[in-house]
A and B are shown apart, each in its own frame.
Chain A
């Protein structure tokens, strides 16, 4: 056995974690508040839709996914006070008015013949955007100072990937005619356009700024 008194480095050779990260405490709290707001709106809508969807397998799956997003909201709710935000409600807010417009449009369908619209909004638009924003956050925050956020992001991303696959398979099973494929594509395009104006679920910079220039204004995005 190795000598227990022999000095060892604080970081093992395989531990490549680093201190630098892209987000301050305040920026992290802001993003987490936006995430919580989106997760809340999502789990509420999934819960509300259960009664409006006639397809039995979809109905039961929405009930399951409703809880997962509620749990994500809870994780973010509990993270906020740890980020010096002692009033979690203050930062539980949408990133901008376009995010509100997006969630309003996403949750608008109610009729029993709109299951495709409901599912496309969640599984082809919102969840892929959540995965993108969460992955950007995961890959850019400090692996040492922000470890609690990283743990939540990894747990949540695991759920998101699983739900994305579930939802996509449900959509594929519902598309039986070309007209329904077009319906799905139209719905996706309409919602993507709103989210483009919003800049993503956490506003501009949701997945960073790939072009090394100032972030685009909303007018530029629109044109």
Chain B
């Protein structure tokens, strides 16, 4: 088996449908959604999708909320799957050692533990998806997460996945837990809370290893943090995650602090989200 598997080689069964960035950009429905949003909707009501102009938060009383929650749950499932695959590849792709292109045994052991956790999250997500009325393959899968897990520098890979993406997972699970609470679904809240506990552990692993592996190499730490910012920005998806009242996914400050983020680092993520949201709003408004 070769090391450093390309992202497009991920193995899937026939139910899965892959969705690339190019597909997303060239999708005529995206342009239609933008037009609807900027014109206030075909019936003048402001449209129904969670676009920059008309988003109203992750509110169970909203007519489209169940579909939005199902789509998010499917997204969580494929995200967990790729997180499992990414952690597994980190166990395999590098020699064990202390060189810059190697990883310590203890880091590999942490990644193996993460494999188990992500495998459980996949199991939980499949069952929760069924509970919420969706099924594997109902929504398309993009492989951005695994792409971040393909970085040849183990520190960048770790930071991109364990701090940026698992950090996003903290925000998502906290939001879904609150959604379950407000929608009167204790089953959803219960499961999300357990996954949230694991994600805090994974982000803390990322924070601890970043500090240990770059203790004597500040340039490498800067590169890693820059990569984290790029991934954070990519996954802010037009301000979908943020601290605004109507942000569908709320930044979970308390849990991020537990996972080793400083207040300043959380402020940076929040600012990135605000910028991404402003850019999306400008794009929707048009020239």
Does chain A bind chain B? yes
Question: Measuring CB to CB, which residues of chain A are less than 8 angstroms from any residue of chain B?
Answer: 40, 43-56, 59-64, 66-71, 73-74, 77, 107-110, 112
Pair B92/A44 contact, Cβ less than 8 Å? yes
Within residues 83 to 121 of chain B, which ones have a CB less than 8 A from any CB in chain A?
A: 84-85, 87-93, 96, 105, 108-109, 111-113, 115-116, 118-120
| Chain A residue, CB-CB nearest to B114 | A67
Q: How far is the CB of B74 from chain A (nearest CB, A)?
A: 14
How long is the Cα–Cα vector from A187 to B64 in the complex, in angstroms? Answer: 52
Pair B112/A52 contact, Cβ less than 8 Å? no
Q: What are 6 pairs between A and B in contact, CB < 8 Å?
A: A49-B88, A54-B13, A59-B85, A73-B109, A77-B105, A109-B1
How long is the Cα–Cα vector from A59 to B120 in the complex, in angstroms? Answer: 11
- B29: interface (CB < 8 Å): no
| Chain B residue, CB-CB nearest to A55 | B13
Among all A-B residue pairs, the 5 with the closest Cβ atoms: A48-B92, A47-B91, A70-B112, A47-B88, A63-B119
Within residues 112 to 168 of chain B, which ones have a CB less than 8 A from any CB in chain A?
A: 112-113, 115-116, 118-120, 122-123, 136, 146
Pair A70/B11 contact, Cβ less than 8 Å? no
In the bound complex, residues from chain A placing their C-beta under 8 Å from that of B119 are 60-61, 63-64
| Chain A residue, CB-CB nearest to B122 | A60
How long is the Cα–Cα vector from A40 to B95 in the complex, in angstroms? Answer: 11
In the bound complex, residues from chain A placing their C-beta under 8 Å from that of B73 are none
Residue in B11, B13, B88, B93 whose beta carbon sits within 8 Å of that of A46 in the complex: B88
In the bound complex, residues from chain B placing their C-beta under 8 Å from that of A61 are 119
- B230: interface (CB < 8 Å): no
How long is the Cα–Cα vector from A109 to B5 in the complex, in angstroms? Answer: 13
Pair A66/B96 contact, Cβ less than 8 Å? no
Q: How far is the CB of B101 from chain A (nearest CB, A)?
A: 16
Given contacts A44-B108, A63-B115, contact A70 B1 (CB under 8 A): no
How long is the Cα–Cα vector from A46 to B90 in the complex, in angstroms? Answer: 11
Within residues 228 to 274 of chain B, which ones have a CB less than 8 A from any CB in chain A?
A: none
**Which of B85, B120, B136 has most A Cβ within 10 Å?**
B85
- B81: interface (CB < 8 Å): yes
Within residues 193 to 210 of chain B, which ones have a CB less than 8 A from any CB in chain A?
A: none
In the bound complex, residues from chain B placing their C-beta under 8 Å from that of A108 are 1
Given contacts A47-B91, A49-B88, contact A59 B81 (CB under 8 A): yes
In the bound complex, residues from chain B placing their C-beta under 8 Å from that of A53 are 11
